Amino acid sequence: MALVFTDLCFRYGRRTDVFSGLGLRVDSPATVLLGPNGAGKSTLMALAASQLTPVRGRISWRDVAPASRRERTAYRKAVAWIPQQITPVPGLTVREQVAYAGWLKGLTRTTAWEASARALERVRLGELSDRKSHQVSGGQLRRMGIAGALTHSSELILMDEPTAGLDPQQRAVFRSLVEELGQSVQVLVSTHQTEDLADLYSHVIVLDRGTVRFQGTTQEFHALAAGAESPRGQAEAAYAQLVGREA
Ligand SMILES: Nc1ncnc2c1ncn2[C@@H]1O[C@H](COP(=O)(O)OP(=O)(O)OP(=O)(O)O)[C@@H](O)[C@H]1O
């Protein structure tokens, strides 16, 4: 199953192009998107989530492009987006919030409610089901967002900087969650973190100034800096080689 960007052009207002003619195909189970500040990672994620509209070009998931309203609904059901900032609906509990996400994507209230319990168990938030969603931590909020995506059986989950600002323990929880999710849904994760790439992601994309500098398997990425001692050292050296600075 592939997410395909064809001849993609995008700019904010009248500013310089963020993308001009980008072509990219993402079809591996777990892909990480790396790139320095301003590379275009969040913009690419928002375009892939059909939250932004390209100036020119096409984005499709399994050949469905979010061009018309009907296709956009189908596209957004299949492609879920966990943005950097999640703003829960005030007053809802964690479970209500997750069920609401499913209902918004077309599930009946009963189905969404039942699916929300299973989804919360999968992201290890079952114990917090009844807590008000504005009373949970940043890491828990992101897991709640993932649970929302799981209620309506998304096929691809886009996660923008999901580990930013998380403590080591929350990062570890997130890592095991990505590992587990990768068995049943495709994930595309943008991050600055180069640690544990080999354990979590089968493929790497490196973006810089709106251009793809590298796309390949994680092994191919590490092989760019085969001399480095540890996998983490290899990833940092490979990244620095591609974009001329450290992650
Ligand atoms: N809302 C906006 N209005 C105008 N320009 C924007 C806006 N959002 C991003 N940009 C510009 O678009 C370019 C790409 O930004 P983007 O946020 O996609 O990069 P990024 O790789 O996600 O960066 P970071 O790692 O810092 O989050 C940058 O030059 C940025 O200044």
Ligand 1 in reach of 41 Cβ (< 6 A): yes
Ligand 1 in reach of 242 Cβ (< 6 A): no
| Closest CA to ligand 1's atom 2 | 12
Q: Does residue 62 lie within any of the structural domains? A: no
pLDDT < 50 stretches in the chain: none
How high is the pLDDT of residue 22?
97
| Closest CA to ligand 1's atom 11 | 38
How high is the pLDDT of residue 245?
62
Q: How far apart are CA 172 and CA 7, in angstroms?
A: 37
Q: How far apart are CA 171 and CA 31, in angstroms?
A: 17
Number of domains within the chain? 1
Cβ partners under 8 Å of residue 158, min gap 6: 45, 48, 49, 79, 80, 81, 82, 187, 188, 189
Instruction: Please give the residue range of the domain that contains residue 219.
Output: 28-42+72-243
Q: Does residue 120 lie within any of the structural domains? A: yes
Ligand 1 in reach of 77 Cβ (< 6 A): no
- Residue 93 C-alpha to ligand 1 middle, in angstroms? 32
Q: Does residue 125 lie within any of the structural domains? A: yes
How high is the pLDDT of residue 170?
84
How high is the pLDDT of residue 246?
55
Q: Does residue 123 lie within any of the structural domains? A: yes
Which strands, in side-by-side order, build the sheet including 3-10? Answer: 19-26, 3-10, 56-61
Q: Does residue 11 lie within any of the structural domains? A: no
Ligand 1: which of 10, 16, 17, 41 to mutate, most ligand atoms within 8 Å of CB? 41
Pair 96, 44: CB distance under 8 Å: no
Handedness of CA 228, 194, 78, 215 (dihedral sign): negative
